[in-house]
Structure 1
Amino acid sequence: MRIVDVNEFYSPTGGGVRTYCDRKMAILAEMGHELIVVAPGSEDRVEERAGGGSIVYVRSPRMPFDANYGLFWDEAAIHAVLDRYDPDVIENCSPWRAAWFVLDWRGRAIRSFFMHNDNMEAYPKRWLGRVASPERIEHAFAWYDRYTDRFLRRYDTVVTNGPATTARMLARGVRVDATMTLGIERRYFSPTLRNEALRVALLDQCGLPPSAHLLLGIGRHHAEKRWPLVIDAVLRAGATLPVGLVILGQGLDTKSLERHIGDSPHIRLFRPVYDRERLAEIMASVDAFIHGNDTETFGLVGYEALACGAPLIVPDAGGMAALAGQAYAETYRGGDGRDCADAILRFFARDPTKVRNAAIDAAAKVRSDVDHATLLVDHYAQVIAAKGCQSDASVQRERR
């Protein structure tokens, strides 16, 4: 099976979608399938992957508020890529022009809309949440769900990345055909990677002794990640307990976050860590993973942290909330910095050995990305069979 993912959310500088796509590409190649990601780029180029698959960058304008991402604008260029690869399946996750480009291509492939995000939660509800109730916001932006329905009804299947997304979509009357819960690359992430010397070194970077508490946050510096909320919560909790925070990431808001931190020595911003083994060692060595985004649909990085045995301090809404077991996590009201600070204090008032052991037990149950890819391919095969659109060329590829 050849899958072409027309993906506006794939960025060469990182992010959860890139992590997901790169890993899925390798898994599908091992399974005898092929994934080609079509992504916006600053120039037209193809990046072949040694294990199989490729990234096809199509020259596209940058996003006005985040230059790490782009917007597809040239329909002919997208159609030319699809003509070249003649896929069995086209995936798309963007609700804008790309959604229609995929539908208007005249090839034989089935069309799959893969929901990686929820724009209603990420934008209107976040922007207007202080002045209007969620119900009023949804009523005011019901036009967006009607717009979404217009293109989704033409897709052959609509899948989500997990139960949180499915629940939100169905509650708003948006079509969902299958829930394909994501998984992580289990081989890198393990509680056995805990390194006390690394923990002490990170606390030292925060100007704190080994007896202090160490929190880790990971994600790009963007408003939807709510890093100012997390920073304020750590500063508030730090007035009572010695708490250090390390944030791995970069982005449009880096300078403003540096100003927000001010002269506090206990909160440090570090660049993203792309080496998976090093990242997993850091995750396994902290006292807890903390997260601010209550609108994202899954939260892959939280699953990776838990797989390393890191307990969690996360919002009570969004993809992370589904992960937060009571034995190893504390939750707080999404968007509420004071409650986040209280959650930090509650967390460190608990027995650290019991909490850590509970997180280690939960680590073994985190789903693998191989399981996810297997189920997704099986789903696509069923849709193809039902539609009867598998070509002779596809059959020959699978036989090889």
Structure 2
Amino acid sequence: MRVAIVAESFLPNVNGVVNSVLRVLEYLRRNGHEAVVIAPGARDHQEEIFEYEGFRIMRVPTIEMPGINSLPIGVPLPGVLKELSRFRPDVVHLASPFVLGAAGAFAAKALNVPCVAVFQTDVAGFAKNYKLKALINATWQWTRAFHNQCALTLAPSSLTIGELEAHGIRNVYHWGRGVDTDRFHPCKRSEAVRESWLREGDQLRRAVGKPSSVPLMERRIVGFVGRLAAEKSVARLRALNDREDVQLVVVGDGPDEGLLRQELPTAVFTGGMYGDDLPQAYASLDVFVHTGQFETFCQAIQEAHASGVPAIAPAAGGPVDLIAPGVNGYLLEVDSFERDLPGAVDAILETGLATMRAHALMTVQGKTWDGLCEQLMGYYAQAMGLRVAAQNQRFTPLVRTQNAAATPRRSQDRQLSGRPGQRGGGSPHVA
């Protein structure tokens, strides 16, 4: 199969969209398929790459979205249509489409190539969080327009499927995310790393006049892993600022780091972590807290669970499918998240840490990327089949009878439900 991936984000950026695309490319290479990637170029301070797994990367210019520094935009150029025409894909995969991805959708339609859109970034949520409310309706109108040019839209969670369908997006199916359970594993826990965090945190406490009376090695480590940007709402961790028995650790970098250091003066900030350091950091936590409410999935929760770490997150978006309250973590209402966070941490640390660690690990068993990519190939085939069916219908003389004319659209939906994956709107298979 020949797959063209139009990605709204790609290396050297590291985020959930990029991670998913890399895993798909690796699967395609292992299984003898061909691919090309069309993606935004690197920003000024970043080194650009032009191939991955032997697949060519076509770059387009990048601009920053005004007021949203964590959402760089690839500029759609006529070269997108030219590249797709040259490569002659069997299917076009849109990874978190919005601007460049929308151009890919319209180009694919012009070339009569089936398109599968993977919804991963809640741009309307970004607009709301950055106080750009006037753009929310326009964002959904634009999202609906180009997603409905695609044969299928794939969404990572049940709540996201419902939201997309509520905004008029058709043919939405569930596609979750895999996790590397060899890389992220409880055995990566490091007592040396934990001690270094506790000692650094102790120094910070003394520097701001808030020393702890709890013995150093008896303090528990509660952490966040992710990009330090406004939409992640990391400042909600301040609810734990005054806990003498808790050491906050923030793993990641981003534009809000300076502000967060002021909001969380006793927290240890590690900066961005990659390679072997990242799974070691996850496994060395006692509790993982994800603070953002606009996650369509939240891969960080899966990585924490694979590391044997229970998670706390807002009861919104992707985390709702990943956390079973009281089993592998807790979901907190968005409006009362800060107020409820200390109690949720206590519930894990005082009554259920060992059991929740075991359940967290069990949660991700079997969620391999190979399995998810096999499901994705099924969706590709489904999209290709829909195109062939549409072509056959277009060129087959249509004899209308009274019964045929009255056949409801829902009958088509029933036929589709037997294809790979689970259709949104019924009882989707959740992650």
TM-score, normalised by the number of residues in structure 1:
0.83
Contact 1:219 1:250 in 2 (8 A): yes
Q: Which residue of 1 aligns with 2:292?
A: 293
| Cα offsets for 1:285-341 (capped at 9, x unmatched) | 210111101111000111011011111121111212221122221222225312223
In structure 1, the gaps of 5 or more residues are: 130-136, 390-400
Residue among 189, 192, 200 paired with 1:197? 192
Amino acid at match of 1:340: L
Q: Which amino acid aligns with 1:233?
A: A
Q: In structure 2, do the counterparts of structure 1 residues 64 and 270 end up closer, same or farther at CA, with 3 Å as the change threshold?
A: farther
Map 1:143-292 onto structure 2 (within 5 A): 144-207=139-202, 209-230=216-237, 232-236=238-242, 238=243, 241-262=244-265, 264=266, 267-275=267-275, 277-292=276-291
From the superposition, tell whether residues 338 and 54 of structure 1 become closer, same or farther in structure 2 (CA, over 3 Å).
Answer: farther
After superposition, the C-alpha distances for 1:346-393 in whole angstroms (9 at most, x for unaligned) are 33222432232332333435x11111111011111122133239xxxx
Given residue 340 of structure 2, which amino acid in structure 1 is its aligned partner?
A: D
For 1:195-239, what per-residue CA distance to the aligned partner results, in whole angstroms no more than 9, with x for missing partners? 333323322232271110101211111101001112x12214x1x
> CA 1:75–1:338 in 2, change beyond 3 Å: closer, same or farther?
same
CA change 1:346–1:178 in 2 (3 A) is same
Give the match for residue 354 of structure 2: 353
Change (3 A) 1:149 1:74: closer
Is 1:119 the counterpart of 2:123? The answer is: yes
Amino acid at match of 1:55: I
C-alpha contact 1:41 1:59 (8 A) present in aligned 2: yes
**Structural RMSD (CA):** 2.7
Determine the C-alpha separation between the residues in 2 that align with 1:205 and 1:28: 44
Paired residues of 1:23 and 1:185 also in contact (CA < 8 A): no
**Secondary structure of 1:318's partner?**
coil
Separation of aligned partners in 2, 1:293 and 1:246: 16
Moved more, 309-318 or 324-333: 324-333
Give, in whole Å, the separation in 1 of the partners of 2:250 and 2:35: 32
Deviation at 1:243, TM superposition (A): 0.7
Where 1:61 maps in the other structure, the secondary structure is strand
User: More deviation in 105-114 or 176-185?
Assistant: 105-114
AA paired with 2:160? T
| 2:86 alignment partner, one of 81, 84, 88 | 84
Identity %: 23
CA distance in 1, matches of 2:188, 2:48: 38
Match of 1:397 in 2: none
How far does the alpha carbon of each residue in 1:120-161 deviate from its partner, in whole angstroms, 9 at most, with x for none?
A: 33432x4569xxxxxxx89x9555444433333321222112
- 1:7-60 per-residue CA deviation (whole Å, 9 max, x = no partner) reads 2233523111112212221122112223433221158965222x3334332223
Rounded to whole Å, the distance in 1 between the matches of 2:264 and 2:105 is 44
Does the 8 Å contact 2:76/2:100 carry over to 1? no
| Gap regions ≥5 residues in structure 2 | 203-214, 390-431
